[in-house]
Structure 1
Amino acid sequence: MNRTARLLVLLGTVLLLGGIAVGATLHAAGRAAEQDRPQTGGPAVTSGAVRLSDPHRAFFRNMAWGPHRDEITAVPAGRLSGPRTASGVRCLRFHAAAGTGICLQAVHGELRDTYRAVVLDDRLHERRHYDLAGTPTRARVSPGGRTVAWTVFVSGDSYAGTAFSTRTSILDTRTGHLDANLETYALTVGGHRVHAADTNVWGVTFADDDHFYATAATGGKTYLVRGDRTARTLRALHTNVECPSLSPDGTRIAYKKRVADADPDAPWRLYVLDLRTLRETATGEHRTIDDQAVWRDRHTLVYALPGDYGADLWTVPADGSGTPHRLATAALAPAFPH
């Protein structure tokens, strides 16, 4: 290599390293600016002790700008717009039941962020954590608090090309047994076993510690499936169901459904399925819903919609009556003790 070529290589290396350094600095500065941005009239948030087993509290990810953004906060269960107590634990997705929490969080690096699932105890202390293969999107805890599930978006699956696909895991917090990918479960549709590379599973909602519902997609269709951890099976029950959420009494599923003639960029509406009759009921929420709703009680659904701070929580009756109204601004990923 001659002197000129060596100088060009050296110059290129300096520029590359300089670009990386500047990018890393801007990345860190951007994160700091987001956390330090003033609240500008948003909900007031203060630090304090948070216990997931408190029956008088509801919990969600605080989206208000300021030092407590993204922290899990506690509010009065009957007044989600009430004063917020921040736990100090930051999560992108969160759920809790029976004193167990699951927190999907970002781990900020010099050049890029990675993600992990953190199992939390009643006081939001870490019990164990697991590295995630992609970006967090859904999280749930079983009613008894023993089993947790999470879903992430991943890329690189051979059948997906450059598109995203999902990966869903279920963890037994008592034994530590992890089913890292529910696509390994035996899926049956219409009584026939499905062997397809395009199978995706996401959006777990638990019936108990061993049984659950979820969405499975294959062949261009989505199905509500009932899952069995012990048997490692998924059985399709109904079509066109995404992100199911089981009612506290175990009789109904709230879910987002693709509706005909909708805007392709806003295709989903919030429905409720009676598991005994498989009768569908459209709720009074007519905007598109890209969330996994939760049940505040046996009669009421709560879900997130875009808002000034990123997301607000809204509510609507589950029986198709009434109209939606906003429960809390600057909030996401709610959990209600039942």
Structure 2
Amino acid sequence: MTSLRRRLLILVTAVLLLAGLATGVVLHAAARADRANRPRSGGPAVSAGTVTLDQRGRLTFLDAAAGPHRTAVASVPATDPGGGRTASNLKCARFYAAAGTGVCLQSDPGVLRQSNRALLLDTRLRTLRAFPLAGTPSRARVSPSGHFAAWTVFVSGESYASAFFSTRTSILDTRTMRLTPSLETYSIVKDGKPYHASDVNFWGVTFARDDDTFYATLNTANSTYLVRGSLSRRTVTSLAQNVECPSLSPDGTRVAFKKRVLSGAALWHEYVLDLNTLHETPLAERHSVDDQAVWLDDHTVAYALPADGEVGGSNLWSVPADGTGAPRLLIAGAASPAPL
């Protein structure tokens, strides 16, 4: 009987400890959410309203300013990016849009399990289809035609700076809803030869205008490569080494990318690669950029940098794509830009 009581006491104690731990996690998350939902004095002017993806001359992004609209899809006039912003009621961890089609990656933390999903959106930000994600949202892109969407998640690890991480990149045909769950099913040609390895990872898709060609990062054997892919042939071919998170220019001739400049460290600089000559041009930004840049036009790229003194906050910056000039603040308290 004494032994039975002891076991029951241990069981009850364990249950109470687990219940207390779960309560603590919930309260901590609620406290963090409360702090994030408090607007900061001097922050950008944000008003709730309608955001659509057919508003030409607008720049959409995720609001990253402290306040109730944080992580909401928002927009500003492209000619006045520092002006007042309109925020929708849709919140995302990553976002991108083109040709009236949007993709929103969401991550809802739970006590026991995190829920991640990708939402395919119409012009009014209404969900057309939802897809479960195998991990934490990382990158999202839509083709210039709106006919294809791509997203990358971390299956393990939390960033590209982690010693060990694994990604999964999916591509969706938005017309047929046919999903390629993983680019790892594509055939790989590296250095002119067929390539097979168990450690292959892809991330950072960017689409060309022909609805067939795309570019992405291939990681294998502790090295990264820019690859050119074909959706119809389901193949990728390596083009250059030490290229991450490519972003194709509107004219299709160049790729902006982040390049690791210190081996073994989370330090990247932004470059532009000429696809015809493979000549690399370092851009004027000297901070480490851990983002997939976006071309605002054929001459300017934008990217996010952490906001000083604000946990989880970020600002959007822009810089000339030819290596001249200097970085300038584009939008304070913002991330995931997508010019309409």
TM-score, with structure 1 as normaliser: 0.93
Distance, in Å, in 1 between the alignment partners of 2:41 and 2:234 is 50
Q: Find the counterpart in structure 2 of residue 182 from structure 1.
A: 183
In 1, the alpha carbon distance for the partners of 2:15 and 2:327 equals 57
- Of 81-90 and 307-316, more deviation after overlay is shown by 307-316
Supply the AA of the counterpart residue of 2:325: G
1:327 corresponds in structure 2 to 330
Shift of 1:40: 2.6
Pair 114,27 (structure 1): closer, same or farther in 2 beyond 3 Å: farther
Q: Provide closer, same or farther for how the CA distance between residues 301 and 125 of structure 1 changes in structure 2, counting only shifts above 3 A.
A: same
Contact 1:258 1:268 in 2 (8 A): yes
In 2, distance between residues paired with 1:25 and 1:274?
49
Aligned residue runs from structure 1 range 166-205, under 5 A: 166-205=167-206
Q: Which residue of 2 aligns with 1:159?
A: none
**Displacement, 1:263?**
7.8
Q: Which runs of 5+ in 1 are unaligned?
A: 157-161
Question: How far apart in 1 are the matches of 2:114 and 2:328?
Answer: 35
Q: Within 2, Cα distance between the matches of 1:136 and 1:10?
A: 37
How many residues are matched?
Answer: 331
- Equivalent pair of 2:197/2:220 in contact (CA under 8 Å): yes
Q: What pairs with 1:135-174 in structure 2 (closer than 5 Å)?
A: 135-155=136-156, 163-174=164-175
2:22 touches 2:111 (CA, 8 Å); kept in 1? Answer: no
Farther-moved stretch of structure 1 (202-211 vs 238-247): 202-211
The aligned runs of 1:65-84 (5 Å cut-off) are 65-84=66-85
2:232 to 230, 237, 253: 230
CA distance, structure 1, for counterparts of residue 109 and residue 199 of structure 2: 32
Distance of 2:111 and 2:16 partners within structure 1: 18
Aligned to 2:89, the other structure's residue is in SS state: strand
For 2:47 and 2:296, how far apart are their aligned partners in 1? 24
Range 13-22 or range 178-187, more displaced: 13-22
Following superposition, the deviation at residue 82 of structure 1 comes to 1.0
Aligned to 2:307: 307
Q: Distance in 2 between matches of 1:163 and 1:50?
A: 38
Task: Quote the residue 2:100 is aligned against.
Answer: 99
Tell me if structure 2 keeps the 8 A contact 1:24–1:111: no
Shift of 1:3: 3.6
Q: What are the within-5 Å matches in structure 2 for residues 1-338 of structure 1?
A: 2-30=3-31, 32-155=33-156, 163-208=164-209, 209-259=211-261, 262=262, 264-308=264-308, 309=310, 310-337=313-340
CA offsets per residue over residues 7-36 of structure 1, 9 Å max, x none? 323332332342244134314523541443
1:296 is paired with a residue of what secondary structure?
strand
**Shift of the alpha carbon at 1:59?**
0.5
CA distance in 1: counterparts of 2:199 and 2:105, whole angstroms: 25
Q: Does the 8 A contact of 1:304 with 1:332 survive in 2?
A: yes
Q: Which residue of 1 aligns with 2:160?
A: none
Contact 1:28 1:110 in 2 (8 A): no
CA distance in 2, matches of 1:324, 1:32: 32
- What amino acid maps onto 1:152 in structure 2? V
Q: Is the 8 A contact 2:314 2:333 kept in 1?
A: yes
**SS of residue matched to 1:129:** strand
The amino acid of 2:212's aligned partner reads: D
- In structure 1, what residue type is equivalent to 2:134? A
The residue type paired with residue 16 of structure 1 is: L
Distance 1:197 1:263 in 2: 23
Q: 1:49-79 deviations in whole A, cap 9, x for unaligned?
A: 1111111210000011111011010101112
Q: Which runs of 5+ in 2 are unaligned?
A: 158-162
Q: CA deviation at 1:312?
A: 0.5
Distance 1:14 1:30, change over 3 A: same
Indicate how the Cα distance of structure 1 residues 21 and 273 shifts in structure 2: closer, same or farther if over 3 A, else same.
Answer: closer
The answer on whether the counterparts of 1:44 and 1:84 sit within 8 Å (CA) in structure 2 is yes
CA distance, structure 2, for counterparts of residue 25 and residue 314 of structure 1:
35
Deviation, structure 1 residue 37: 1.8
Root mean square deviation of aligned Cα: 1.9
- Larger deviation, residues 34-43 vs 55-64: 34-43
